[in-house]
Structure 1
Amino acid sequence: MTSYTFVFLGLSITSSWGNGHATTYRGLLRELAARGHQVVFLERDLPFYADNRDLPSPSFARTYLYGSLDELRERYADMVRDADLVVVGSYVPEGIDVGAWVQATARGCTAFYDIDTPVTLRQIERGRCEYLSRELISSYDLYLSFTGGPTLGFLERDYGARCARPLYCSFDPELYYPEHPERDAELRWDLGYLGTYSDDRHPTMENLLFKSARAWPEGRYIVAGPQYPSTIAWPWNVERVEHLSPQEHRAFYGSQRYTLNITRRDMIDAGYSPSVRLFEAAACETPVLSDRWSGIETFFKPGWEIALVETPSQILQYLRDVKEPARLAMAKRARKRALAEHTAAHRAESLERYTAEVLALRAARERKPAARRARISC
């Protein structure tokens, strides 16, 4: 296996507070390092994350904080220049300038890793994207997307992406697994949800979680995640937790009979955009009740490994009527599928293949001018 040097410039790897980027980068980079690659992560030193660093010094990647674009250029140009693949992530501060500098500096290949693909494309269309532009898309050697399906062809056809490939979120088997300390003990919550607040997800939460909670006062519910407005009228039987570190996720999932997955509107419209909650909960053998979107069946089989719900009554049917053996069987099937296809190691293997692909394409492009010059000289 060829060993590569990867340099990532991402939103954050040191802090998981209020973002899903950190856990994605942690799993991916750890697996790349385990496979013998050299890995560097460059992160903008932002005050918001500085106060909430739950992994300040990852053991699997050399991690450096930079305070400005000028500091990035001055201190880390050699790392960028010498890497086989330099990856710039979505939501990187001054990402357009960072991307342009990376493309001008790197001798190897460059990639954009979009953890928010539908949101990114909508912002570009509206002229409001601060970390990516149409020009940059066509200049990156590789576009890595959290969204697969038709969006990949759209990126290549309408935006000029040279090579658009899916690199979905994943889970870390070392963090997410079933504990079952007391299999016969009553679980703490009937339904839970883990996620940062967003305006477009909240109506679905109101419809599925809040309405079912109000209709079933005996039910026990919980919502964990930051940035929820103080104006929300929480049902009395819905417990609130402001933030959970990744190390606490396993116990959180393992204390629920079911967990709820709610997808952002842009992701639903694009389809093929799995949330990390799907994989994490499945790995913990917690059955997932999810909203519906195109392509979900390519990740888990509806009705067999996962349940799709659209109404509060459907939620209550699962919570109150499904027998325990059926609930546990669905959870076991989902975990088996997650382990077979959706670990961070699977994503690292995908990135290896994509890197080999774009390096070969670049080498082929560079050979053509040399061949033409040789024919002319003869």
Structure 2
Amino acid sequence: MKIAFYGSSLLSAYWNGAATYYRGLLRALAQRGYQITFYEPDVYQRQQNRDIDPPEWCNVVVYEGTVDALKNVAAEAALADIVVKASGVGFEDDLLLQQVMKAARPGALKIFWDVDAPATLAELKGSSEHPLRTELADLDLVLTYGGGDPVVAAYRAVGAASCVPIYNALDPETHHPVARDRRLEADLGFLGNRLPDREARVETFFLEPAANSSDLRFLLGGSGWKDKPMTPNVNYIGHVSTRDHNAFNVTPKAVLNISRESMAQNGFSPATRVFEAAGAGACLITDHWEGIDHFLKPDEEILVARDGQDVRDILAGLTVERAADIGRSALQRVLREHTYQHRAVEVDRQFRSHSGRKEAAE
């Protein structure tokens, strides 16, 4: 079956947290026989900051950030058996949704894939005339980056016929154990862009523990933090290319996952960073959110902190040997249960099930 997928970017992870998710899932679906074309706009300097070349397993169409170019690529949805419009494309999202679904042929499976369900649902609840809300009745399926039962129930409440979470996972071909890099040595590392929905939590879980632990070294990676006040024991290295993520994860004694506020409130929303770190065999400390134990076992495969003091206490008692044990256990768990191959099985099942229902109804 042919998939036309309209998303933010497959080729660039620059200000694009969904890149790893798209790459892992779409490659796994391609291996199951799907023919995929990914449409991405040339916006936010992503094309100038590509971190992968166009892959063999997916045709990538980059279009200009103009309405005419958008309409031209949207018309190509008519060629697909499955049409997917993702959230957060970054250029005229509402118009793109309308044009893509209008172009889809009658028998095609029409899907909205939400990679930021809390933000999208907040918009939908705030406006009964939101373009997505008016399109939901004509869509066959909503897939989400995570969120569990609360997100499913919320989507059904605003008119979605069906909503299924497809969680982040590990792509072992891109995220795996590597040799340590002495330039990245630290007691605790955190990698994440500066976002309004996360900044206060970064202060609580990372910058405050650093300020109160002058004897420890902290490593901060990600865009936007240059003018953020931080103590001398924080080594800020700016944007970290995906090719260096494995070394970033395995070199510090532990690495930290900090959820955005909305993701933490909804729960069941592990960031891609959780599986990237586990896949590299890192010892991961995460802020608390409902559903952690659905993915990794606390105290054995992941460490959980409810505030900055917890982070300090964990670091104070964490030996190199225990950190290594936790990292090995996490790696074994994600390889066993949480790869994109596992997720693709569920996506394939959803595609075939909903396609079958459409055919039976016609």
TM over 0.5: yes
Contact 2:205 2:287 in 1 (8 A): no
C-alpha separation in 2, matches of 1:187 and 1:228: 17
C-alpha separation in 2, matches of 1:127 and 1:307: 39
Secondary structure at the residue paired with 2:142?
strand
Equivalence for 1:134:
133
Contact 1:152 1:165 in 2 (8 A): no
Structure 2 alignment gaps of length 5 or more: none
C-alpha separation in 1, matches of 2:156 and 2:291: 21
Q: Structure 1 residue 299: deviation in Å?
A: 1.1
Q: What is the identity, as a one-letter code, of the residue corresponding to 2:310?
A: Q
Q: What is the identity, as a one-letter code, of the residue corresponding to 1:42?
A: Y
Q: Structure 1 residue 199: deviation in Å?
A: 2.0
C-alpha separation in 1, matches of 2:160 and 2:259: 26
Alignment of 1:216-365 (within 5 A): 216-228=213-225, 230=227, 232-365=228-361
Contact 1:282 1:334 in 2 (8 A): yes
Select between 92-101 and 243-252 the one with higher mean Cα deviation.
Answer: 92-101
Offset from partner CA, 1:87-140 (integer Å, 9 cap, x none)? 11111222222222222221211111111000111122234998x521122321
Contact 1:123 1:129 in 2 (8 A): no
Q: What is the identity, as a one-letter code, of the residue corresponding to 1:234?
A: M
Contact 1:187 1:257 in 2 (8 A): no
Q: Structure 1 residue 322: deviation in Å?
A: 2.5
TM-score, length basis structure 1: 0.88
Residues 100 and 259 of structure 1: is their aligned pair in 2 closer, same or farther, counting only changes over 3 Å?
Answer: same
Equivalence for 2:176:
177
Offset from partner CA, 1:125-181 (integer Å, 9 cap, x none)? 234998x52112232111010123223432453111111011122222112111246
- Give the number of the structure whose alpha-carbon radius of gyration is greater: 1
Contact 2:6 2:85 in 1 (8 A): yes
Q: Alpha carbon RMSD of aligned pairs, Å?
A: 2.2
Residues 48 and 5 of structure 1: is their aligned pair in 2 closer, same or farther, counting only changes over 3 Å?
Answer: same
Q: Structure 1 residue 24: deviation in Å?
A: 1.5
C-alpha separation in 2, matches of 1:357 and 1:271: 27
Q: What is the identity, as a one-letter code, of the residue corresponding to 1:98?
A: L
The structure 1 residue matched to 2:28, chosen from 26, 31, 54, is 31
Q: Percent identity?
A: 32
The structure 2 residue matched to 1:197, chosen from 191, 194, 208, is 194
Q: Structure 1 residue 233: deviation in Å?
A: 0.9
Offset from partner CA, 1:182-234 (integer Å, 9 cap, x none)? 9xx9981110111111123222222222222122212111111112362x211
| 1:58 equivalenced with 2:55 (yes/no) | yes
| 1:15 equivalenced with 2:12 (yes/no) | yes
Equivalence for 2:46:
49
Residues 233 and 60 of structure 1: is their aligned pair in 2 closer, same or farther, counting only changes over 3 Å?
Answer: same
C-alpha separation in 2, matches of 1:115 and 1:265: 15
Offset from partner CA, 1:337-357 (integer Å, 9 cap, x none)? 111222222222221111001
Q: Structure 1 residue 261: deviation in Å?
A: 0.7
Q: What is the identity, as a one-letter code, of the residue corresponding to 2:96?
A: V
Equivalence for 1:111:
111
| 1:90 equivalenced with 2:87 (yes/no) | yes
TM-score, length basis structure 2: 0.92
Select between 116-125 and 197-206 the one with higher mean Cα deviation.
Answer: 197-206
Secondary structure at the residue paired with 1:314?
helix
Secondary structure at the residue paired with 1:11?
coil
Structure 1 alignment gaps of length 5 or more: 367-378
Residues 207 and 156 of structure 1: is their aligned pair in 2 closer, same or farther, counting only changes over 3 Å?
Answer: closer
Aligned pair count reads 358
Q: What is the identity, as a one-letter code, of the residue corresponding to 1:193?
A: F
Q: What is the identity, as a one-letter code, of the residue corresponding to 2:150?
A: T
